[in-house]
Chain A
C-alpha cells in the first residue's frame, strides 16, 4: 500500500487525479490540500504516514519546488515526491530535481504512465515522463559558457555506461535495465552512480540533458 498525499490548488484537477488514483487498490489517499503548508503541518505532527507526495508547482503561497525541499528536509529525505505540472520548460524540470523531487510528469494524463511513475518514485527511483523527457531532448542546443568552457569538456564514459544512459533516457527503470542487459540491479545502481559522478551532474534530468548536449547519446 502506498500512502499518497495530494497537493494541488486547482480543485478540478485534484478531483481528476483522485479519480485516477482511486482505481488502484494499492494506493491510499491519506490527505489532500490546495496548499503545501497543510502537508508540512501534517508531517510535523507525524500523525499520518505519507510515502508519496504528488504536488503541483505553481500555487498561491508556497510553490511545489519549495514544498519539495521542505518536505524532504522534514522527513530526512524519506518522503518521495512526484511533481505533476503544466510547466513544460527545462528550467522547471531541473529545479524540481535540484529540490529533491523523485519524478516529474506533465499534466497530460495517461493512467498507465501515472501508475509507472508512482511505482518507480515510491521505490525511490527517478522518473521523468515521456513528454517531459521529450522537452529535455528538444532543448538540446549547443550551450557554451564564456567564462568556463564546459562545452569542451570531455567525458570518458564506457560503452556500457553509454548504453545505460540511453536506456535511462528511454524511460526504463533500474530493474528493467538490469533485466535487459543481464546484470543485477545493484550493478546498474553502481553504473548509475559512476555516470552521475563522471558527468558531474546531480540528477537524471541533468544527466540526460548533458548526455544529449555532449552527443553521448542520440534520442530516437
Chain B
C-alpha cells in the first residue's frame, strides 16, 4: 500500500530561498493559530460547564426540593418531574458540546484518559467496534503536543465515522525512547491512492491533520488502498513532563 507523507502536502507554496525559515514560520503560524483557537474553545466550554450547566443544576435541585414539599399536588409533582427530565437532557447535551469544544479530561489527566473518553463519545452511537492499545497510562506531555495529538485522533475518528464505512477502528498510542507514536487504523472501504486529490484530502480532514502534525514537528503518513481501509501514522519526539 502506498504511503502519503505529510512533508509533500502542506497545501502552501514553498519558496526556494530560505526554505528552513519558511518552514519554521509556517510551523509557528499554525501553532499560534491552534493556540488561539484552543483558547477560544476553552473559554466557551468553561462558560457552558461552569456557567450555564451549573445554573441548570441549581434549577433542578430547587425544583426537586419544591416537589418534595407538602403543598405540591400529585399532578404538579409529575409536571415537575417532566420539566426536570427536560433540564437533565439539556444538561447532558451541553456537556457533550462543552466536551467537544474543549476536552477538560485532557488538561486534567492527559492523553490516555482523554482519548479513551473520546472513543466513547464518538463511536458508541455508530456501533463501530473500537480498540485502544496504549502504554501511556498517566504519562504527560507538553500541552501543545497533547492537544495536537488529541485533535488528530478526533479528526481521524470523525473521518472513520463519516466516510470510512468501517466496522472496526483501532487506535494505538505508544511512547518509547522519547517518541510518541500514534496509529489509527480502520477496516473500511479505503481508497485508491491516486484518487486522493486535494479536494478529498480536504474533505477527509487530512490537510488539517497534516498542518496540525507539522506544527509540533511531527511526521504524519497515510496509507490506504481499495478495500483495505485507512491507516494514519504519526510520530513525534517529545519528553514527558510531570504535573503536580
Contact = CB atoms under 8 A, between A and B. Distances in A.
A94 to B, nearest CB: 9
B53 interface: yes
B168 to A, nearest CB: 10
A141 B119 contact: yes
A141 B120 contact: yes
Interface stretch (A38-46, A107-115, A184-192): A107-115
A23 interface: yes
A12 B55 contact: yes
A143 B132 contact: yes
Given A89-B113, A91-B108, A19 B61 contact: yes
Contact of A142 (B54, B64, B124, B130): B130
Contacts, number: 121
A10 B135 CA distance: 38
A135 B223 CA distance: 34
Interface string B98-119: 0100001100110001101101
B126 interface: no
Interface string A1-30: 000000000101101110110110000000
A181 B117 CA distance: 35
B198 interface: no
A107 B131 CA distance: 30
B59 interface: yes
Contact of B135 (A87, A95, A109, A146): A146
A156 to B, nearest CB: 25
Given A12-B55, A13-B58, A91 B113 contact: yes
B133 A146 contact: yes
A118 B107 CA distance: 31
The 4 closest A-B pairs by CB, nearest first: A16-B61, A91-B113, A107-B57, A19-B65
